[in-house]
Amino acid sequence: MRQPLTEMTAESIQPVFWAGMRTPFAVAQRGSFKGIRPDELLVMLMKEHRKKFLAAYQHDGGPQDLVVGCAYPEGEQGYNIARIAGLGASLEVPGMTVNRLCGSALEAAAIAAAGVSCGRTSAWLVAGVESMSRVPRRGANFSESELVKAAAPQAYVTMGETAENVARRFPRISRAAQEEFTAASHAASHRAWDAGFYDDHVLPICGLRRDESIRFPVNLEKMASLPPAFHPQGMITAATSSPMSDGAAAGLVTSERFARASGARSFLRIIDTVTSHVAPEIMGMGPVHAVQKLFARNKITVDSIAAVEMNEAFAIQSMACIDELKIPPHIVNTMGGALALGHPLGASGLRLLMSLHERLKRQTPERSATNLGIATLCIGGGQGIAMLCEFITAEESHGKRL
């Protein structure tokens, strides 16, 4: 519900993310979700989300709007999937679908955070979904504009080409190093699942209990034998690219006051979100500019950050961004990344927020200097998005500010 201006306080307009829940991410086209419509997958997830977080749905009218990220909102993901899935889940909310390609779900959370901050409403349901099995990349009727190409010849560059372009700019990052980075992602994902890291926020559904793309132990010899995937003389392979995936994610962006009243024990304060742009042909470098902008706006440095969740579109892309930003590798994707977990485009941004929340929560007893984290993704077309968050418990929240 909207707060009257006279009643607005910092706690009533401070946006927080909590109540994250996602499906396991399935291998596209041959995995567990290949026969499931994306709208129905999202309906199933949102029904379970409501059951688990019923107190939030019952408090003060519950979420008042729904924003869903989807990179290719057509076919079974079309007709404003947010509203359609909301109806299918019997939710009393309107709905809006947002498309910022790989950054769609994080953009959905940013839109909701802005809505809380301006007092539009104190509770939003945010989600993301993508079926790369049932809706083709670039869409079913992809068409290039000659007018656009005349102004921007690389506007329609493929993602594989962009990865090869980044590799050429960073010759010091060898193919072998990329394969080792990929192997580390699989190993970290495997360890995290075995340690129960994902148990609380991943919903077993349709017979799938874990993310389906994880390979462990990793066969580095087999990985090294793979041919280049995008260019005969290139170095990017299927193994060092994020797998095509199917999946959905959901969570709540509410005011801090709403979260505490609904029983949230901890949450991520959403401090700031920025977007950036780079040349389309090096789209993987988008996080560099977004994170630099985030640092400058908030007058902080990488030393202020305890954890980073960076989407691993390609090994080379993530490694180059980490290198350029001078981020200590030991704070990045410590529980695995998209190379292993999967990358259903429209849902990945919320997966990052859930992992960030859980990581910061688990390191809370040991933290001293900082409890700040960043979620960031590169985006097709030459964009980047980054969100700065602060982990805090409900008990700590009164009066504490960045």
Instruction: Please report where in the chains the tokens 């009727």 appear, as a residue.
Output: 141
Strand ranges (E), 123-208 = 123-131
Given 49, 343, 357, 389, the catalytic residue? 343
118 is catalytic: no
Distance between CA atoms of residues 179 and 39, nearest Å: 35
206 among known catalytic residues: no
Among residues 49, 59, 70, 102, the one annotated as catalytic is 102
Strand partners, 393: 266
- DSSP output for 313-347: SBHHHHHHHHHHHT--GGGB-TT--HHHH-B-GGG
Q: How many helices (H) and strands (E) does the chain have?
A: 14, 10
Asked whether 242 and 122 are in contact (CB, 8 A), the reply is: no
Neighbour-count burial of 4, counting CB atoms closer than 10 A to its CB (0-12 exposed, 13-18 middle, 19+ buried):
exposed
* Number of neighbouring beta carbons within 10 Å of residue 294: 24
Please give the Cα distance from 66 to 35 (Å, whole number): 26
Choose, from 59, 186, 289, 378, the residue flagged as catalytic: 378
Which spans in 25-128 are helix H?
A: 38-52, 54-58, 81-88, 104-117
What are φ and ψ of residue 342, in 5° steps? 110, 165
Cα separation, 332 vs 310, in Å, equals 7
Residue 386 tokens read as: 């980054």
Say whether 378 is catalytic.
yes
Active site positions, annotated: 102, 343, 378
